[in-house]
Amino acid sequence: MQTIEQLIETLQLEPHPEGGFYRSTMRDDEKLSLAHGERPLYSSIYFLLRSQDISHLHRLQSDEVWYYHGGSALTIHMIYEDGTYEAKKLGLNIENGEQPQILVEKGTIFGSSVEEENTFGLVGCMVAPGFDFEDFELFTQQQLLEIYPKHEVIIKKMAFEQL
State residue 32's pLDDT score.
86
Q: Which residues of 39-65 are buried (b: 16+ CB within 10 A; e: fewer)?
A: bbebbbbbbbbbbebbbbbbbbbbbbe
* Range of weakest confidence among 63-67, 109-113, 132-136: 132-136
State residue 79's pLDDT score.
98
Rounded to an integer, the average pLDDT of 104-120 is 97
Residue 89 near residue 97 (C-beta atoms within 8 A): yes
DSSP state of 135: G
CA dihedral 48, 153, 83, 62 (to 10 degrees): -10
State residue 35's pLDDT score.
82
